[in-house]
Structure 1
């Protein structure tokens, strides 16, 4: 029975990544237990803080990229000849426009927070 390589490679990659994560977690736990046995206090993990400016930036970027893809699709459906540079150009343009919009929104929010 021959198994196709296209099936073996992803399965092996997934199993490898999961195994690596499990081993790292095990060693981290053993290290913490050894510190507790010696009477030391293990360092606490820092809680992940969400940066609102980062969320705004990524949201505007992805909205711009989505809008660029949508407009490129509309232009391609209207025109008969398709340009190979249409999709990347509009994705970059609207992605950059989204970043500029997020910058100006963040400036306005910073000014409003400074006044209060």
Structure 2
């Protein structure tokens, strides 16, 4: 039997199993929370998360800058010995750019959280 014929059978079955597993685990988690006396509906709403969008934005900007740098470097270096493009350069610089974006996001979040912690402390003139 040709392995290519199994792909249209295995992919939908795998997708169905994935969806079934996710729903099953969510139901199991909800039942466990009910057994412990917790309300499962309260767990889904965590409130606004402004840093989540900052993190994704900086990750994508960093990956884009890494891709741009890789493209410029690839065009200026020319082909390698085998006449191929420098494809590992693209993956490396996208990962480095995304990592730098996440580090910047972390630094900004920590700076904001430290500012909030210090502003909540009482001033020395207050009793």
TM-score (structure 1 length as normaliser): 0.56
Please state if 1:85 is matched with 2:88: yes
* Misfit runs of 4+, over 3 Å: none
CA distance in 2, matches of 1:92, 1:109: 26
Pairs aligned (count) = 104
Residue 64 of structure 1 corresponds to which residue in structure 2?
62
For the aligned residue pairs, the C-alpha RMSD in angstroms reads 3.8
CA distance in 1, matches of 2:72, 2:87: 14
TM-score (structure 2 length as normaliser): 0.53
Which whole-Å deviations, capped at 9, do the CAs of 1:62-89 have from their partners, x for residues lacking one?
Answer: 0100000000011011111252201000
Residue 99 of structure 2 corresponds to which residue in structure 1?
96
CA distance in 1, matches of 2:79, 2:52: 39
Residue 113 of structure 1 corresponds to which residue in structure 2?
116
CA distance in 1, matches of 2:87, 2:58: 25
User: Where does structure 1 lack aligned partners over 5 or more consecutive residues?
Assistant: 1-44
CA distance in 2, matches of 1:109, 1:81: 46
User: Where does structure 2 lack aligned partners over 5 or more consecutive residues?
Assistant: 1-40, 81-85, 121-127
* Post-superposition offset of 1:113: 1.6
Secondary structure in 1 matching 2:87 = coil
